[in-house]
Amino acid sequence: MRRVYNFSAGPAVLPEEVLKEAANEMLDYRGSGMSVMEMSHRSSSFETIIRNAERDLRTLLEIPEDYEVLFLQGGASLQFSMIPMNLMKQRKADYIVTGQWAKKAWKEAEKYGEARVIASSEDRTFSYIPDVSDLPISEDADYIYICENNTIYGTKFHKLPDTKGKPLVADVSSCFLSEPADITKYGIMYGGVQKNIGPAGVTIVIIRKDLISDDVLSGTPTMMRYKIHTDAKSLYNTPPAYGIYICGKVFRWLLDLGGLPEIQKRNQTKAALLYEYLDNSRLFSGTVKKKDRSLMNVPFVTGKKELDEKFIAEAEKEGLVNLRGHRSVGGMRASIYNAMPYAGVEKLVTFLERFEKENG
Ligand SMILES: *Cc1c(COP(=O)(O)O)cnc(C)c1O
């Protein structure tokens, strides 16, 4: 068996301990005589799995009682429409556009009401986070929308915008559980789990209870109403059961290693190693404004297309895979999520140094 260091932006690396545990339980989950994949979602075994997953997530993020936790399907992308359909009571929302994902969410919201862009960084290929200290927020906006970590461009909001009392809705797909967060600052925090938490197929939505009601846009499908899912505790229909089970194991893994303060420290150490190399390199350079850099996604370039290609090909031979950048940025991108070990980043930096010596 040969495991590589997988720098994919998503689906992405998972903790080896979690994968091994899941492998051990594959044929007989704790005396049930079956795999979690084969189990009824109404069984007591699965009931325990989903309730423990919710409990551990609540512990990790210190989620207060006035927030609901949902395990849904449809990816982060389905939330682009669920959010306006459930929240746009006055048919108005303000969007901060810091990348493709925020832009897609904004475009979707335009179908349901007046979705205004109140700040954007598109003028410089989304390589920075715009100033959000004093935004022209609409008086009657139902919510303010951000994509907190921009997976493609490698930027992150290090300070949340002042929403002047309006609910903040944040897509945290690629920074979910990477550091402590104050949930009370959010109306909705949501993300697909396939970047930093688990396998594709689960979307976690953490939503403040006062935002959940039967008063949704007319025509909203049953499956797209938050209230249907909160009333049924994420079991309105068959949930992505195996995915939720793996998420639960990742939550335990995080708790066992010391929770979000500890994973934040590890993430900072890993990112610092890579950024410090890039800042001192004569061949490679980061593409993002320093103060807005992400701890999770690190795009970088040589400035020469052929050299980028050569780097990606040679890295792959070293077992450093999925380093190709998104087509809209080019170059390389190293996604160094929670489950990427320090040794993986160290090996990448050692290889970068060698490549620079040979090609610089
Ligand atoms: C990957 C990603 C998405 C899209 O997620 P899907 O689950 O594929 O719909 C949305 N937002 C962000 C920030 C992402 O990184």
The Cα 129–Cα 289 span in angstroms is 8
330 alpha carbon, distance to own chain's centre: 21
Mutate to test the pocket of ligand 1, among 149, 173, 204 (most ligand atoms within 8 A of CB): 173
Element containing residue 72 per DSSP (H, E): strand 67-72
Compute, in angstroms, the gap from residue 141 CA to the centroid of ligand 1.
24
Q: Does the beta carbon of 173 sit less than 6 angstroms from any atom of ligand 1?
A: yes
Sequence letter at residue 109: A
pLDDT computed for residue 70 by the predictor: 98
Q: Which of 70, 295, 64, 267 is nearest to 182 (CA)?
A: 64
3-state secondary structure of 67: strand
Find the catalytic residue in 56, 101, 166, 292: 101
pLDDT computed for residue 1 by the predictor: 83
Average pLDDT over the chain, rounded to whole? Answer: 97
Percentage of residues in the chain having pLDDT higher than 70: 100
Compute, in angstroms, the gap from residue 213 CA to the centroid of ligand 1.
26
- Phi and psi for 150 in degrees, rounded to 5? -95, 100
Which domains, from first to last, does the chain contain? 16-257 (3.40.640.10), 258-359 (3.90.1150.10)
Report the 10 Å Cβ neighbour count for 62.
13
pLDDT computed for residue 156 by the predictor: 98
- Shortest-distance Cα residue to atom 11 of ligand 1: 101
Q: Does the beta carbon of 192 sit less than 6 angstroms from any atom of ligand 1?
A: yes
**How much is the average pLDDT of 47-59?**
98
Sequence letter at residue 147: C
pLDDT computed for residue 173 by the predictor: 98
pLDDT in tens, 65-114: 999 999 999 999 999 999 999 999 999 999 999 999 999 999 999 999 99
pLDDT in tens, 125-165: 999 999 998 999 999 999 999 999 999 999 999 999 999 99
Compute, in angstroms, the gap from residue 102 CA to the centroid of ligand 1.
10
**How much is the average pLDDT of 264-291?**
98
Q: Does the beta carbon of 6 sit less than 6 angstroms from any atom of ligand 1?
A: no
* DSSP type of residue 201: T
Q: Does the beta carbon of 147 sit less than 6 angstroms from any atom of ligand 1?
A: yes
Where does the pLDDT of residue 117 fall: very low under 50, low under 70, confident under 90, or very high at 90 and above? very high
Q: Does the beta carbon of 296 sit less than 6 angstroms from any atom of ligand 1?
A: no
- The answer to whether 118 and 136 are in contact (CB under 8 A) is yes
Where does the pLDDT of residue 28 fall: very low under 50, low under 70, confident under 90, or very high at 90 and above? very high
pLDDT in tens, 208-264: 999 999 999 999 999 999 999 999 999 999 999 999 999 999 999 999 999 999 999
- The answer to whether 91 and 63 are in contact (CB under 8 A) is no
pLDDT computed for residue 356 by the predictor: 98
The Cα 235–Cα 13 span in angstroms is 28
Has 156 been annotated as catalytic?
no
The Cα 359–Cα 107 span in angstroms is 43
Q: Is the pTM of this model over 0.95?
A: yes
Q: Does the beta carbon of 155 sit less than 6 angstroms from any atom of ligand 1?
A: no
pLDDT in tens, 310-338: 999 999 999 999 999 998 889 999 999 99
Percentage of residues in the chain having pLDDT higher than 90: 98
The Cα 98–Cα 189 span in angstroms is 17
pLDDT computed for residue 109 by the predictor: 98
231: which 2 tokens? Answer: 């009333």
Has 171 been annotated as catalytic?
yes
Has 101 been annotated as catalytic?
yes
213: which 2 tokens? Answer: 């009601």
The Cα 67–Cα 299 span in angstroms is 35
Compute, in angstroms, the gap from residue 43 CA to the centroid of ligand 1.
31
Can the peptide bond before residue 11 be classed as cis, meaning omega within 30 degrees of 0? yes
Atom of ligand 1 nearest to the CA of 151: 15
- The answer to whether 189 and 196 are in contact (CB under 8 A) is no
Find the catalytic residue in 166, 195, 249, 270: 195
Spell out where 193-335 has E strands. 203-208, 285-286, 297-301, 320-321, 332-335
- Alpha carbon dihedral 130, 135, 136, 140, in 10-degree steps, equals 120
Compute, in angstroms, the gap from residue 98 CA to the centroid of ligand 1.
14
Atom of ligand 1 nearest to the CA of 203: 7
Q: Is 42 annotated as a binding residue?
A: yes
**What is the DSSP annotation of 154-182?**
TEE-SS----TTSPEEEE-TTTTTSS---
Please state at what angle helix 100-109 crosses helix 75-87, rounded to 10 degrees.
40
The Cα 210–Cα 160 span in angstroms is 21
Find the catalytic residue in 56, 94, 171, 308: 171
pLDDT computed for residue 328 by the predictor: 86
